[in-house]
Amino acid sequence: EQQTKWWQKAVVYQIYPRSFQDSNGDGVGDLLGIIGRLDYLQLLGITAIWLSPVYQSPNDDNGYDISDYEAIMEEFGTMEEMECLIVEADKRNIKIIMDLVVNHTSDEHKWFIEAKKGKENPYRDYYIWCDPVNGDVPNEISSTFSGSAWEFDATSGQYFLHLFSKKQPDLNWANTNVRQEIYNMMNFWLEKGVGGFRMDVIDLIGKLPDQGLTGNGPLLHQYLQEMHQATFGSHDVMTVGETWGATPEIAKQYSDPARKELSMVFQFEHIGLDQQEGKEKWDIKPLSIGALKRVLSKWQTALGNQGWNSLFWNNHDLPRIVSRWGNDQEYRVESAKMLAILLHLMKGTPYIYQGEEIGMTNCPVTSIEEIRDIESINMYQERLSKGYRKEAIIQSINAKGRDNSRTPMQWDDTECAGFTTGTPWLHVNPNYHEINVKESLADPQSIFYTYQKLIELRKEHALVIWGEYQLIEDTAEEVFAYYRELAGEKWLVVANFSETNQTFLLRDVMDKVLIHNYQTDLPDTGELGLRPYEAFAAKIK
């Protein structure tokens, strides 16, 4: 068992600050609100917080459009409060992982304000400019937020590139001044004692836009090795890259320790399994459990010791998993626990997104006026203009829209779920009366205590960190079962990933059941009847 890094044992909790806890009644979450909830996070047992961006921003993309990397967004609080959060978290053995958004800035960043002044401006080449081609956009690159990725700038008669919103111009990473400015900023945060960085769409920084190439450009890994050397390489910190297109081979390039790049990446292969081939995220198809088993098992074994896995179902861009692949009606508790047990006993660093630990659900809307997310709003306009029916578009947004995961954290059953005493920036999910932290802490059978137990098991057993993974192939399609083994100790994890009764033939003899999402005894061998979403882990003889 190699020398274990702290982030190989960590469990990371993602906070979307805007929606976590408001402390001053303006309806927007803030840093003081987070500080006030650190004891809750310590009770859960997490050891790191991935903090979505808190830097100065006009909030065109809710903070992923940064106008000053070294100042705190006014609505979130002050730099002193940020430093206090780092200190208070550290007292509870919780590290703060900052969200590094350096593929692009806000168009209100001083660099872009300068760059737009003209072609001769020293900051012009901090961004990516192109002359029109045949009086039109330079090429067909499109924005993730609909439409062309090229925006015309009348002052200079050129286009600038934005892979996201028009207010998120892409930085030109080929410019050494840009890279040096980013490294200086990263060192500013490292010197404040942050525990590392989550790197937003980091696979895009090597783009070659004139060749229409966006992800995995030829200089990408050279930039990351340079960044490692210039910043976090001399600190014991964690770095996780958001790399939508990563395969295991690509993931090894990012996370093989010998390459001195990143600690790990978020891969999204499992996340794409309910998306129709060659279509957009909005065009969904039923999930194949068999495909999910194959994909997650591949990632469990393909990295070997040349990289490290991240494990997640949720984040601030994804619909809530219990609504997406569980059952958020009659089996909400059982299916949320099943999803947690199945994922958290796999190999890799697990990430819990705020509210996942209490089984928060999607929040369907009936009209676009209820939606805040720029991605959904732009898609709505685009699909309307293409003749899609409004009901169909709203249905897509209710299934996959990002606001599903951004409704305020549900703390208790008082007004606005205890999130704010003011008017929340985004509606609170009306089911907060039944689904909230207060109710979860008072119920020994709640989803919260399943997450707490899983985190304990990870802290107590090296097998969860280092145990070899082996999928059990000959099971019913809907039954996802695997072994973990280390130094002669063997665990069995079994999950009925469906709302139908299933059976599972137990070839082993169970020694001790470690966690189970139903409150009845399990036979120690032979044919098991699995109830809807039934899941357990057991040590076997």
Given the rule CB under 6 A, which residues bind ligand TEU? 61, 64, 101, 144, 164, 200-201, 244, 281, 316-317, 375, 402
Nearest to ligand TEU by Cβ — which residue? 64
Q: Name residue 323's amino acid.
A: S
Q: How far is the CB of 414 from Ca ion (least distance, A)?
A: 17
The item of ligand TEU, Ca ion, none sharing an interface with residue 200, based on CB under 5 to 8 Å by kind, is ligand TEU
Interacting residues toward Ca ion by CB under 5 A: 22, 24, 26, 28, 30
- If the CB atoms of residues 223 and 497 are measured against ligand TEU, the closer one turns out to be 223
Write down the least CB distance from residue 294 to Ca ion, Å.
Answer: 44
Q: Report the residue number, 111 or 504, with the smaller CB distance to ligand TEU.
A: 111
Encoded amino acid at 435, one letter: I
Neighbouring-strand partners of residue 503: 529
For 305, residues 6+ apart whose C-beta sits below 8 A from its C-beta are: 2
State which residue, 412 or 489, has the beta carbon closest to Ca ion.
Answer: 412
CA distances for 327 relative to 324, 385, 403, 437, 502, angstroms: 8, 34, 19, 20, 16
**From the list ligand TEU, Ca ion, none, partner contacted by residue 281 (C-beta under 5 to 8 A by kind):** ligand TEU
Q: Is the dihedral of CA 142, 147, 149, 154 positive or negative?
A: positive
Question: Based on CB atoms, which residue is closest to Ca ion, 139 or 421?
Answer: 421
Would you state the structure tokens that stand for residue 430, as one six-digit string? Answer: 């009306």
Place of tokens 């990563």: 246
Q: Which of 529, 493, 513, 476 is nearest to 341 (CA)?
A: 493
Taking the complex as a whole, the smallest distance from the CB of residue 49 to ligand TEU amounts, in Å, to 16
In the list ligand TEU, Ca ion, none, the entry touching 375 (Cβ below 5 to 8 angstroms by class) is ligand TEU
Q: Is 375 strand, coil or helix? A: helix
152: alpha, beta or left? (left if phi > 0; alpha if psi -120 to 50): beta
* Contact between 260 and 225 (Cβ < 8 Å): yes
Q: Cα separations (Å) of 242 from 11, 48, 206, 439?
A: 17, 17, 14, 34
Residues 312 and 266: beta-carbon distance below 8 Å:
yes
Residue 144: which of ligand TEU, Ca ion, none does it interact with, CB under 5 to 8 A by kind?
A: ligand TEU
Active site residue 200: yes
CB 338 to ligand TEU: min, Å = 24
Q: Which residues contact 414 (CB under 8 A, 6 or more apart)?
A: none
With CB under 5 to 8 Å by kind, the binding choice for 534 among ligand TEU, Ca ion, none is none
Q: Which is nearer to ligand TEU, 281 or 516 (CB)?
A: 281
Nearest approach, Cβ of 145 to ligand TEU (angstroms)? 8
When the beta carbons of 166 and 402 are compared against ligand TEU, the nearer one is: 402
The active-site residue, picked from 65, 99, 200, 373, is 200
Give 496's DSSP letter.
E
User: Which residues contact residue 32 at a Cβ distance below 8 angstroms, ignoring those fewer than 6 apart?
Assistant: 23, 24, 77, 81
Cβ proximity to Ca ion, 73 vs 100, nearer residue:
73
Q: How far is the CB of 21 from Ca ion (least distance, A)?
A: 8
- The entry of Ca ion, ligand TEU, none near residue 22 (CB within 5 to 8 angstroms by kind) is Ca ion
Among 61, 242, 403, 478, the active-site one is 242
User: Alpha carbon of 389 to those of 365, 399, 494: distances in Å?
Assistant: 16, 16, 42
* 156, 125 contact by CB (below 8 A): no
Q: C-beta of 70: minimal distance to ligand TEU in Å? A: 18
Query: Of Ca ion, ligand TEU, none, which one does residue 26 interact with (CB within 5 to 8 Å by kind)?
Result: Ca ion
242 is catalytic: yes
16 and 63 Cβ atoms separated by less than 8 Å: no
Q: List the catalytic residues.
A: 200, 242
